[in-house]
Structure 1
Amino acid sequence: MMKKLMKNKWLWIISVVCVIAAGAYYMQMGSTGELVKVYEVDKGPVVDYIEDTGEVIAEQSATIYSDLTAKVETINVDIGDEVKKGDILFTLDDDALQYQLEVLKATKAGLTASKSELEKPTDSNLLQKLSAVVNSAKLAYEQLSDQLKTQEALLESGAVSQSVVDDLSSAVDIAYANYQAAVNDYQMAKKGTSGNVVDQAKSSLAAVDVQISELESMIAKASVTAPYEGVVVTKHVSIGDYVATGMPLVTIDQLGQMYIKADLLADDIMMLEVGARVVISNDSGIETQGKIRKIYPKAHTKVSDLGVEQKRVTVEIEFDSQVGMKLGYEYDLEVVLKEVEGIRIPDSAYFKINGNGHVFLVKDMEVVLTQIETLTEGVDYYEVSGLQVGDMVVQSPATELEDGMTVQLEEESIMDER
Structure 2
Amino acid sequence: MNKKLTALTLVVILALTSFIGCSNKEVEENNVVEKENYVPVEIETVQRDTLFNSRIYSGRVYANKEVMVMPKMVGKVESVKVKVGDTVKKNEVLFTLDKEDVQKQVEQARVAYDAAKANYDRTKEQIENAKVSFERTKKLYEQGAVSKAQYEQAQLAASETSLEAAKKSVEQAQLAYNQALDTLNDLSVRAPISGVIASVDVDEGEFASNAQPAVTIVDMNKIYTQVNVTEDMINQVYKGQEVTIKIPAATEEDLTGKIETIRPSVDPRTQLYPVKIYMNNKEDLIKPGMFSQVEIKTDIRENVIVVKSESVVEHNGTSYVFVVENDKAVAKEVETGLDTGTYVEIKKGINEGEKVIVKGQNYVEDQTKVKIVRGE
TM-score (norm 2): 0.62
SS in 1 for 2:272: strand
Cα distance in 2 for partners of 1:311, 1:192 equals 79
Amino acid at match of 1:334: E
Q: Which residue of 2 aligns with 1:403?
A: 364
CA gap of 1:245–1:289, structure 2 versus 1, over 3 A, is closer
Give how far 1:45 is off: 1.7
Question: Are 1:47 and 1:379, in contact at CA under 8 Å, matched by a contact in 2?
Answer: no
Distance 2:214 2:313 in 1: 62
Q: Is the Cα–Cα contact under 8 Å of residues 94 and 191 in structure 2 kept in the other structure?
A: yes
Task: Check if 1:238 corresponds to 2:205.
Answer: no
* Other-structure match for 2:178: 213
- Deviation string 1:235-272 (CA, Å, 9 cap, x unpaired) is 36332554443543333334544555433233222323
Shift of 1:316: 3.3
In structure 1, how many angstroms separate the alpha carbons of the residues matched to 2:50 and 2:218?
39
More helix by share: 1
Q: For 1:396 and 1:317, how far apart are their aligned partners in 2?
A: 42
Shift of 1:35: 5.8
Structure 1 residue 92 corresponds to structure 2 residue 97: yes
Alignment of structure 1 residues 10-21 onto 2, 5 Å? none
Q: Across the two proteins, how many residue pairs are aligned to each other?
A: 309
Distance 1:272 1:111, change over 3 A: closer
Equivalent residues of 1:47, 1:381 under 8 A apart: no
Residues 322-355 of structure 1, C-alpha deviations (whole Å, 9 max, x = no match)? 6547453555433221222221113354566677
Over the aligned positions, Cα root-mean-square deviation in angstroms equals: 4.5
Residue aligning to 2:135 = none
**Counterparts in 2 of 1:27-42, with a 5 A limit?**
36-42=41-47
Secondary structure in structure 2 of the residue aligned to 1:215: helix
- The structure-2 alpha-carbon separation of the partners of 1:275 and 1:101, relative to structure 1 and needing over 3 Å to count, comes to closer
- Compute the displacement of 1:107 (Å): 5.2
Residue 67 of structure 2 aligns to a residue in which SS? strand
User: Which residue in the other structure is 2:276 paired with?
Assistant: 316
Cα drift, residue 224 of structure 1: 1.3
2:340 match: 378
Q: 1:251 to 1:298 in 2, by over 3 A?
A: farther
SS in 2 for 1:209: helix
Paired residues of 1:367 and 1:402 also in contact (CA < 8 A): no
Query: Could you tell me which residue of structure 1 aligns to residue 266 of structure 2?
Result: 299
SS at match of 2:102: helix
**CA radius of gyration, larger in:** 1
1:337 matched to 2:298: yes
Q: Secondary structure at the match of 2:233?
A: helix
Structure 1 residue 195, shift from structure 2 partner: 8.3
Aligned AA (2:308): P
Find the aligned partners of 2:263 and 2:199 in 1 and give their Cα distance.
Answer: 30
1:227 partnered with 2:187: no
Q: Distance in 2 between matches of 1:293 and 1:379?
A: 30
Q: In structure 1, what is the Cα distance between the partners aligned to 2:315 and 2:211?
A: 70
Alpha-carbon shift at residue 88 of structure 1 (Å): 0.9
Q: For the structure 1 residues 35 and 90, does the alpha-carbon distance in structure 2 shift closer, same or farther, using more than 3 Å as the test?
A: farther
Alpha-carbon deviations, 1:270-303, whole Å to 9, x = none? 323334342345553544555434321012267x
Q: How does 1:78-227 map to 2 (within 5 A)?
A: 78-105=83-110, 206-227=171-192
Change (3 A) 1:290 1:245: closer
Q: Tell me, yes or no, if the aligned pair for 1:92 and 1:222 is still in contact at 8 Å.
A: yes
Match of 1:129 in 2: none
SS in 2 for 1:267: coil
Structure 1 unaligned regions, length at least 5? 1-27, 122-187, 303-309, 414-418
Does the CA-based 8 Å contact 2:84-2:200 persist in structure 1?
no
**1:396 & 1:35 partners in 2: Cα distance?**
9
Identity among equivalent pairs (%): 22
Alpha-carbon distance change, 333 to 379 in structure 1, aligned in 2, over 3 angstroms = farther
Q: Which residue of 1 aligns with 2:69?
A: 64
Q: Which runs of 5+ in 2 are unaligned?
A: 1-32, 127-152
Tell me the secondary structure at the aligned position of residue 68 of structure 1.
Answer: coil
The 3 A distance-change label for structure 1 pair 78 and 375 is same
Q: What's the offset of the Cα at 1:209?
A: 3.5
1:362 offset after TM fit, Å?
4.7
CA distance, structure 2, for counterparts of residue 368 and residue 200 of structure 1: 106
> What code does the residue aligned with 1:316 have?
K
Question: What's 1:12 paired with?
Answer: none
- For 1:299 and 1:236, locate their aligned partners in 2 and report how far apart those are by CA, in whole Å: 37
- More displaced, 242-251 or 42-51? 242-251
Q: TM-score, with normalisation over the residues of structure 1?
A: 0.57
The CA distance in 1 between the partners of 2:335 and 2:195, in whole Å, is 54
For 2:218, the equivalent position in structure 1 comes to 253
Residues in 1 aligned to 2:171 and 2:62: alpha-carbon distance in whole angstroms: 49
Aligned: 1:273 with 2:238: yes
Q: Note closer, same or farther for the CA distance 1:49–1:408 as it changes in structure 2 (3 Å cut).
A: same
Per-residue Cα deviation, 1:83-129 (whole angstroms, up to 9, x for no partner): 112211122334332233344445556777888888898xxxxxxxx
Deviations 1:199-251 (A, max 9, x none): 7676556544332221221121121112332223x436332554443543333
Amino acid at match of 1:265: T
Structure 1 residues 98 and 356: alpha-carbon distance in aligned structure 2, compared to 1, 3 A threshold: farther
Q: 1:349 to 1:317 in 2, by over 3 A?
A: farther
